[in-house]
Amino acid sequence: MRVLGIETSCDETAVALVETNPWSTDILAQVVSTQIALHRPFGGVVPEMATREHLRNLPLLVPQVMREVNLGLDAIDAIAATEGPGLASSLLIGHSYARALAVALSKPMVGVNHLEGHLYSSFLANRRAVEFPFVGLIASGGHTLLVHALGWDRYVKLGSTVDDAAGEAFDKVAKLIGLPYPGGPEIEKMAAKGNAEAFGLPRSFPERDNLNFSFSGLKTAVRFFFEKSPMMQADKEWIYDLCASFQKAVVDVLVRKAVAAVGQARVERLAVSGGVLCNKMLREELEFACYEAGIDLIMPEPAYCTDNAGMIAGTAAEKLAAGVEPRVGDDINPNLDLFSPEPGRDLARGLSVAAKLKNRHAKDVPQESSVVPPGEIEVW
Ligand code: KG4
Ligand code: ZN
């Protein structure tokens, strides 16, 4: 089975084609068009600009992927697109494009939860079959999550951030000290030249059994040091030390909590993903801690840590191959939750949307209006 995947939840337009085989799912081709340079002058993602870029990119990237594998669109068995969470306008472009393609090709369309994509990207990137149970750590610009994955669609939240996501903390601290967006790679470069023990920065929730994260205290501590020392801001060595100490504090917390989560869930495997997992120090410390604790660490190469379409197509393909009822893919959901996926919810949501439309029309639309009568609106 071959699945084409489209990911446009934020500022990366990504398309991939995957193929299932009896042992794992292979990524046959994948392209990612990043918009970092476009958004950099604004210090963050500008949704309107991201939307226009996705619209421009998708009609180029889909044929590019098919050309790379030398296959026609008729070779695709299903089309998957990110349904949420993410920026509404960005999600809409990829999702609508996928739906249109699915209708044109008479193929099924599958909506994929972006976080679920991250959960499985480490298995896919390492060409490993997904094995339950495992603990997933997702650390990105929008999320910091520890998940106990018991089976397909059976996820238990072990911990999450109570304020900023880890990547967001990197981005905000970078902005504070005048580094460009995205902050993670910039801080990492500075930190490589600094002393991680130079500043005593706080670590959140040090208790072993508390698996939540908080990065706002750490961010405030960095702000305190930075703003209270205007004379030092021109001293490169001092900035290097501040970045190194900040990076170490984030890494310490992520590693400690991930290892504790594996212990608490009594599993053997830890699968990690999200843009922050590109960080070399985090990767090394995770490898070391997991080796010490006898944990099977499944970590993708950096290209599969950041947003990509291989994880979206791969998640859809693995679930279809496992016989899991796919999400219908009827609409985007910018706040899509990972932890309440009861069967039939798409139908329930579709019906409730239909009911709301019906009420709204009954109340607001004058009789002579040319709007399609509510009874004739097809929700999917
Ligand atoms: O997963 P991702 O590409 O997009 C989201 O879904 O958010 O993650 C982007 C985040 C940004 O906050 C970025 O600063 C962070 O990942 N990031 C890093 C590194 N590379 C990217 N953080 C720390 N160190 C890095 N090398
Ligand atoms: Zn992501």
- Could you please report the per-residue DSSP string of 108-131? -EEEEEHHHHHHHHHHHHTT----
Given a cut of 50, is residue 366 above it in pLDDT? no
Q: Which domain holds residue 200?
A: 131-299
What is the reported pTM?
0.86
369 band by pLDDT with thresholds 50, 70 and 90: very low
Choose one of 278, 284, 308, 311 to mutate for the ligand 1 pocket test, by most ligand atoms within 8 angstroms of C-beta: 278
Atom of ligand 1 nearest to the CA of 118: 1
Coil vs helix vs strand at 160? strand
Coil vs helix vs strand at 174? helix
> In this structure, what DSSP letter does residue 327 have?
B
Share of the chain above pLDDT 90, in %: 75
C-alpha 166 to ligand 1 mean position (Å): 8
50 band by pLDDT with thresholds 50, 70 and 90: very high
Residue 91 shares a structural domain with residue 137 = no
329 band by pLDDT with thresholds 50, 70 and 90: low
Ligand nearest to the CA of 11: 1
The CATH number assigned to the domain holding 258 equals 3.30.420.40
C-alpha 138 to ligand 2 mean position (Å): 8
Residue 142 shares a structural domain with residue 283 = yes
The total domain count for the chain is 2
Q: Is 307 in the pocket of ligand 1 (CB under 6 A)?
A: yes
Report yes or no on 367 lying in a domain.
no
C-alpha 274 to ligand 1 mean position (Å): 7
204 band by pLDDT with thresholds 50, 70 and 90: confident
Residue in this structure with the two tokens 């139908």, named with its chain if needed: 347
Q: Is 30 in the pocket of ligand 1 (CB under 6 A)?
A: no
Residue 31 shares a structural domain with residue 74 = yes
Choose one of 118, 122, 170 to mutate for the ligand 1 pocket test, by most ligand atoms within 8 angstroms of C-beta: 170
Given a cut of 50, is residue 9 above it in pLDDT? yes
According to DSSP H, which parts of 196-331 are helical? 216-227, 236-265, 280-293, 310-321
C-alpha 27 to ligand 2 mean position (Å): 18
Report the range of poorest mean pLDDT among 104-108, 139-143, 354-358: 354-358
